[in-house]
Amino acid sequence: MKKIESIVFRSRWLLAPFFLGLILALFILLGKFLKELFWLVYSFAEISKNDSLISILTLLDVTLIACLIIIIVFSGYDIFVSKFSHIESDKKPGWVGKVTFSDLKLKLITAIVAISSVELLRAIINIDNNTNDVMMWKVGVHITFVFTGVFFALTDYIVSKKGQGH
């Protein structure tokens, strides 16, 4: 039994390659960000207001996704694999080590709602290139994400009150 528990406990390290893969994805996002930024700067004089707004929203979208990846990597590693004990505390972001799984879930859905908002805004700015069906799907998906976020927050609120004896 002790051997099985040891194997199960050590299996948490199988998550480390997933987090390393997400770090690799950050480099890919950085390439996309730099490509879009270069295009925006290079095309600045010739592009329309709508194209510049769409490009800026793309930069914002990629940045939000990168922040989401960092939150997941740091928090997930800290929660599920190992604490960041070898990093000096003054170099760690203040939230590292303080984020619970519930907090991570809310941060994740909040970031998804923000990303969805940017995508919806991009579609609205570029409305001439979108059909009514596409717009309805985008609005529907966004509303679903918003309701999911509210439901998660409400569930966590109820659970936290229950834990306080209410």
What residue spans define the domains of the chain?
2-163
Per-residue model confidence (pLDDT) at position 166: 45
Question: pTM for this structure?
Answer: 0.74
Per-residue model confidence (pLDDT) at position 163: 64
Closest to 111 (Cα-Cα) out of 80, 76, 152, 69:
69
Per-residue model confidence (pLDDT) at position 57: 87
Query: Would you call 12 helix, strand, or coil by DSSP?
Result: helix
Give dist(CA 23, CA 73) in Å, integer.
8
Q: Would you state the structure tokens that stand for residue 52, as one six-digit string?
A: 């510049």
- R_g (Cα) of the chain, nearest Å: 20
**What's the count of helices (H) and strands (E) in the chain, helices before strands?**
5, 0
Q: Specify whether the CB–CB gap between 123 and 138 falls below 8 A.
A: yes
Per-residue model confidence (pLDDT) at position 92: 67
Per-residue model confidence (pLDDT) at position 25: 96
Per-residue model confidence (pLDDT) at position 164: 60
Give dist(CA 37, CA 157) in Å, integer.
40
Per-residue model confidence (pLDDT) at position 47: 87
Q: Burial letters for 87-118: b for 16+ Cβ neighbours within 10 Å, e otherwise?
A: eeeeeeeeebbebeeeebbbbbbbbbbbbbbb
- Under-70 pLDDT residues of the chain: 89, 92, 94, 97, 163-166
Q: How many residues does the chain have?
A: 166
